[in-house]
Protein backbone atom coordinates (compact mmCIF):
# COMPACT_ATOMS: atom_id res chain seq x y z
CA UNK A 1 0.00 0.00 0.00
CA UNK A 2 2.92 2.37 0.41
CA UNK A 3 4.46 4.43 3.15
CA UNK A 4 1.24 5.04 5.11
CA UNK A 5 -1.51 2.66 6.14
CA UNK A 6 -4.96 3.59 4.88
CA UNK A 7 -6.28 4.76 8.25
CA UNK A 8 -3.34 7.11 8.70
CA UNK A 9 -3.91 8.56 5.24
CA UNK A 10 -7.56 9.16 5.96
CA UNK A 11 -6.79 10.79 9.28
CA UNK A 12 -4.21 13.07 7.67
CA UNK A 13 -6.84 14.25 5.22
CA UNK A 14 -9.33 15.00 7.97
CA UNK A 15 -11.83 12.51 6.64
CA UNK A 16 -14.13 9.98 8.22
CA UNK A 17 -12.00 6.91 7.68
CA UNK A 18 -10.93 4.08 5.48
CA UNK A 19 -13.37 2.85 2.88
CA UNK A 20 -12.88 -0.86 2.30
CA UNK A 21 -13.10 -2.15 -1.26
CA UNK A 22 -16.54 -3.45 -2.09
CA UNK A 23 -18.59 -4.65 -5.00
CA UNK A 24 -19.34 -1.64 -7.17
CA UNK A 25 -23.04 -0.86 -7.15
CA UNK A 26 -25.68 1.78 -6.78
CA UNK A 27 -29.06 1.92 -5.19
CA UNK A 28 -31.35 3.95 -2.99
CA UNK A 29 -34.91 4.80 -2.06
CA UNK A 30 -37.37 7.25 -3.57
CA UNK A 31 -36.82 9.56 -6.55
CA UNK A 32 -33.35 10.89 -5.69
CA UNK A 33 -31.00 10.69 -8.66
CA UNK A 34 -27.24 11.26 -9.04
CA UNK A 35 -26.53 12.62 -12.51
CA UNK A 36 -22.77 13.19 -12.48
CA UNK A 37 -19.64 14.51 -10.83
CA UNK A 38 -16.93 17.05 -11.63
CA UNK A 39 -13.47 16.65 -10.07
CA UNK A 40 -11.00 19.57 -10.07
CA UNK A 41 -13.11 21.51 -12.62
CA UNK A 42 -12.69 18.64 -15.06
CA UNK A 43 -8.87 18.71 -15.08
CA UNK A 44 -6.40 16.06 -13.96
CA UNK A 45 -5.21 16.36 -10.36
CA UNK A 46 -1.46 16.90 -10.75
CA UNK A 47 0.74 16.93 -7.63
CA UNK A 48 4.46 17.59 -7.20
CA UNK A 49 6.78 16.69 -4.34
CA UNK A 50 6.46 19.59 -1.90
CA UNK A 51 3.03 21.19 -1.65
CA UNK A 52 -0.38 19.78 -0.81
CA UNK A 53 -3.05 20.03 -3.48
CA UNK A 54 -6.62 21.04 -2.63
CA UNK A 55 -9.35 20.42 -5.20
CA UNK A 56 -13.15 20.40 -5.29
CA UNK A 57 -15.43 17.49 -6.05
CA UNK A 58 -18.97 18.49 -7.05
CA UNK A 59 -21.79 15.93 -7.05
CA UNK A 60 -24.78 16.70 -9.28
CA UNK A 61 -28.07 15.22 -8.09
CA UNK A 62 -31.83 15.81 -7.97
CA UNK A 63 -34.82 15.18 -5.73
CA UNK A 64 -38.20 16.91 -5.94
CA UNK A 65 -37.93 17.89 -2.26
CA UNK A 66 -34.42 19.30 -2.62
CA UNK A 67 -31.04 17.95 -1.54
CA UNK A 68 -29.83 17.74 2.05
CA UNK A 69 -26.30 16.33 2.08
CA UNK A 70 -23.76 14.09 0.39
CA UNK A 71 -21.03 11.73 1.57
CA UNK A 72 -18.40 11.64 -1.17
CA UNK A 73 -15.73 8.99 -1.61
CA UNK A 74 -12.57 9.08 -3.71
CA UNK A 75 -11.24 5.60 -4.39
CA UNK A 76 -7.74 5.08 -5.74
CA UNK A 77 -5.47 2.09 -6.34
CA UNK A 78 -5.60 -0.15 -3.26
CA UNK A 79 -7.70 1.98 -0.93
CA UNK A 80 -10.20 4.83 -0.71
CA UNK A 81 -10.74 8.19 0.94
CA UNK A 82 -14.07 9.21 2.46
CA UNK A 83 -15.10 12.74 3.42
CA UNK A 84 -17.37 14.08 6.14
CA UNK A 85 -20.99 14.70 5.29
CA UNK A 86 -21.35 17.84 3.18
CA UNK A 87 -24.47 20.00 3.27
CA UNK A 88 -25.62 20.64 -0.29
CA UNK A 89 -25.36 24.29 -1.27
CA UNK A 90 -28.11 24.15 -3.94
CA UNK A 91 -30.94 21.85 -5.01
CA UNK A 92 -28.68 20.27 -7.60
CA UNK A 93 -25.07 20.45 -6.33
CA UNK A 94 -23.04 19.23 -3.35
CA UNK A 95 -19.37 20.26 -3.22
CA UNK A 96 -16.56 19.06 -1.00
CA UNK A 97 -12.85 19.94 -0.97
CA UNK A 98 -10.15 17.28 -0.69
CA UNK A 99 -6.49 17.89 0.13
CA UNK A 100 -3.74 15.44 -0.83
CA UNK A 101 -0.26 15.97 0.60
CA UNK A 102 2.43 14.08 -1.38
CA UNK A 103 4.69 13.81 1.66
CA UNK A 104 1.99 12.31 3.88
CA UNK A 105 -0.77 10.74 1.81
CA UNK A 106 0.70 9.38 -1.41
CA UNK A 107 3.26 7.04 -2.92
CA UNK A 108 3.95 6.42 -6.59
CA UNK A 109 1.60 3.44 -6.79
CA UNK A 110 -1.39 5.75 -6.20
CA UNK A 111 -0.90 7.63 -9.50
CA UNK A 112 -3.43 6.72 -12.17
CA UNK A 113 -7.18 6.26 -12.38
CA UNK A 114 -9.36 7.19 -9.39
CA UNK A 115 -13.14 6.99 -8.96
CA UNK A 116 -15.60 9.34 -7.27
CA UNK A 117 -18.68 7.96 -5.53
CA UNK A 118 -21.33 9.46 -3.28
CA UNK A 119 -24.31 8.86 -1.02
CA UNK A 120 -26.84 11.69 -1.42
CA UNK A 121 -29.66 12.36 1.05
CA UNK A 122 -32.77 14.38 0.11
CA UNK A 123 -34.83 16.62 2.38
CA UNK A 124 -37.77 14.19 2.33
CA UNK A 125 -35.70 11.19 3.47
CA UNK A 126 -35.08 9.74 0.02
CA UNK A 127 -31.50 8.80 -0.83
CA UNK A 128 -29.29 7.46 -3.58
CA UNK A 129 -25.77 6.06 -3.70
CA UNK A 130 -23.39 5.35 -6.55
CA UNK A 131 -19.98 3.91 -5.71
CA UNK A 132 -18.40 4.84 -9.05
CA UNK A 133 -20.07 7.85 -10.63
CA UNK A 134 -17.08 8.64 -12.82
CA UNK A 135 -13.30 8.47 -12.96
CA UNK A 136 -10.50 11.02 -12.93
CA UNK A 137 -6.69 10.97 -13.10
CA UNK A 138 -4.34 11.60 -10.21
CA UNK A 139 -0.91 12.35 -11.71
CA UNK A 140 2.68 13.00 -10.74
CA UNK A 141 3.91 16.42 -11.83
CA UNK A 142 6.61 16.77 -14.48
CA UNK A 143 9.34 19.28 -15.33
CA UNK A 144 10.81 19.99 -18.77
CA UNK A 145 13.71 22.19 -19.92
CA UNK A 146 14.94 23.46 -23.30
CA UNK A 147 18.28 24.78 -24.51
CA UNK A 148 18.97 25.65 -28.16
CA UNK A 149 22.51 26.46 -29.31
CA UNK A 150 24.57 28.07 -30.66
CA UNK A 151 23.12 31.53 -30.20
CA UNK A 152 23.39 33.33 -32.60
CA UNK A 153 23.73 30.92 -35.51
CA UNK A 154 24.45 31.30 -39.21
CA UNK A 155 21.56 30.56 -41.54
CA UNK A 156 21.81 27.02 -42.90
CA UNK A 157 23.95 25.82 -40.01
CA UNK A 158 22.93 23.30 -37.38
CA UNK A 159 21.07 24.15 -34.20
CA UNK A 160 21.27 21.60 -31.38
CA UNK A 161 18.24 21.47 -29.09
CA UNK A 162 18.54 19.68 -25.76
CA UNK A 163 16.41 19.29 -22.67
CA UNK A 164 15.46 17.06 -19.76
CA UNK A 165 12.11 15.55 -18.80
CA UNK A 166 11.64 14.63 -15.14
CA UNK A 167 8.68 13.61 -13.00
CA UNK A 168 7.87 13.79 -9.32
CA UNK A 169 8.43 10.82 -7.06
CA UNK A 170 6.03 10.55 -4.12
CA UNK A 171 8.38 7.96 -2.61
CA UNK A 172 11.45 10.15 -2.03
CA UNK A 173 10.11 13.68 -2.84
CA UNK A 174 12.57 14.22 -5.69
CA UNK A 175 12.25 14.63 -9.46
CA UNK A 176 13.81 11.85 -11.56
CA UNK A 177 14.47 11.51 -15.29
CA UNK A 178 11.54 10.04 -17.23
CA UNK A 179 12.98 7.78 -19.92
CA UNK A 180 11.43 6.40 -23.12
CA UNK A 181 8.81 9.13 -23.46
CA UNK A 182 7.83 10.85 -26.75
CA UNK A 183 8.32 14.62 -26.56
CA UNK A 184 7.52 17.06 -29.37
CA UNK A 185 10.03 19.68 -30.49
CA UNK A 186 8.14 22.83 -31.44
CA UNK A 187 9.12 26.09 -33.16
CA UNK A 188 7.54 29.55 -33.31
CA UNK A 189 8.81 32.02 -35.88
CA UNK A 190 9.64 35.48 -34.57
CA UNK A 191 6.66 37.80 -34.96
CA UNK A 192 4.08 35.00 -34.90
CA UNK A 193 2.02 33.45 -32.10
CA UNK A 194 1.69 29.80 -33.13
CA UNK A 195 4.03 26.90 -32.39
CA UNK A 196 4.47 24.13 -34.96
CA UNK A 197 5.69 20.64 -34.14
CA UNK A 198 8.93 19.94 -36.03
CA UNK A 199 9.64 16.39 -34.84
CA UNK A 200 9.07 13.97 -31.97
CA UNK A 201 12.01 12.67 -29.94
CA UNK A 202 12.04 10.00 -27.21
CA UNK A 203 13.77 10.72 -23.93
CA UNK A 204 16.95 8.78 -23.25
CA UNK A 205 18.90 8.05 -20.08
CA UNK A 206 17.82 10.23 -17.14
CA UNK A 207 15.12 11.81 -19.30
CA UNK A 208 17.61 13.51 -21.65
CA UNK A 209 16.48 14.99 -24.97
CA UNK A 210 18.75 15.93 -27.90
CA UNK A 211 18.22 16.59 -31.58
CA UNK A 212 19.45 18.85 -34.38
CA UNK A 213 17.66 21.12 -36.84
CA UNK A 214 18.75 23.45 -39.63
CA UNK A 215 18.71 27.16 -38.82
CA UNK A 216 16.44 29.05 -41.23
CA UNK A 217 14.86 31.99 -39.42
CA UNK A 218 14.76 33.74 -36.05
CA UNK A 219 12.45 32.11 -33.57
CA UNK A 220 11.67 30.22 -30.39
CA UNK A 221 12.30 26.52 -29.68
CA UNK A 222 10.57 24.49 -26.97
CA UNK A 223 9.76 20.91 -25.93
CA UNK A 224 6.17 19.77 -25.34
CA UNK A 225 5.25 16.61 -23.36
CA UNK A 226 1.64 15.40 -23.65
CA UNK A 227 1.74 13.44 -20.38
CA UNK A 228 0.74 9.86 -19.59
CA UNK A 229 -1.96 8.18 -17.51
CA UNK A 230 0.21 8.69 -14.40
CA UNK A 231 2.21 11.83 -15.23
CA UNK A 232 1.10 15.38 -15.96
CA UNK A 233 1.69 17.19 -19.25
CA UNK A 234 4.38 19.86 -19.45
CA UNK A 235 5.58 22.51 -21.89
CA UNK A 236 9.04 23.95 -21.37
CA UNK A 237 10.02 27.59 -21.40
CA UNK A 238 11.06 28.55 -24.94
CA UNK A 239 14.62 29.41 -26.01
CA UNK A 240 15.14 32.10 -28.65
CA UNK A 241 17.70 31.64 -31.42
CA UNK A 242 18.92 34.57 -33.55
CA UNK A 243 19.66 33.40 -37.13
CA UNK A 244 22.09 35.60 -39.08
pLDDT at 1: 37
Kindly give the pairing relationship between strand 219-225 and strand 234-235.
Answer: antiparallel
pLDDT at 190: 97
pLDDT at 80: 62
- pLDDT tier at 28 (50, 70, 90 boundaries)? confident
pLDDT reading at 70 higher than 50: yes
Residue pLDDT, tens place only, 158-204: 999 999 999 999 999 999 999 999 999 999 999 999 999 999 999 99
Residue pLDDT, tens place only, 108-146: 999 999 999 999 999 999 999 999 999 999 999 999 999
pLDDT (average), residues 12-16: 38
pLDDT reading at 148 higher than 70: yes
pLDDT reading at 22 higher than 70: no
Residue pLDDT, tens place only, 193-244: 999 999 999 999 999 999 999 999 999 999 999 999 999 999 999 999 999 9
**Could you please report the per-residue DSSP string of 194-224?**
--EEEEEEE--GGGEEEEEEE--SSEEEEEE
Q: Where are the beta strands (DSSP E) in the chain?
A: 26-29, 33-39, 45-47, 53-62, 67-76, 79-82, 86-87, 93-100, 112-122, 127-140, 142-144, 147-149, 158-168, 175-177, 182-189, 196-202, 208-214, 219-225, 234-235, 239-241
Phi, psi (deg, nearest 5) at residue 206: 60, 25
pLDDT (average), residues 46-64: 97
Give whole-number Cα distances, 211 to 148, 177, 208, in Å: 10, 17, 10
pLDDT reading at 16 higher than 80: no
Phi, psi (deg, nearest 5) at residue 207: 80, 15
Query: What domains does the chain contain, in order, with CATH numbers?
Result: 6-140 (2.60.40.2550), 142-241 (2.60.40.730)
pLDDT (average), residues 29-57: 96
CB-based contact 36:133 (threshold 8 Å): yes
pLDDT reading at 25 higher than 70: no
Amino acid sequence: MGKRVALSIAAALGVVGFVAPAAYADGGSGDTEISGVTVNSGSDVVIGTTYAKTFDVTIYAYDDSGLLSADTTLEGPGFGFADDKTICETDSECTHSFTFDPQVDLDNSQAGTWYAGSWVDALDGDYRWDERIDSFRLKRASTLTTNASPEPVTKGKTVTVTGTLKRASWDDYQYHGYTGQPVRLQFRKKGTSTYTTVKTVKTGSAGALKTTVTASTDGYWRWNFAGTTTTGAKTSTSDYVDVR
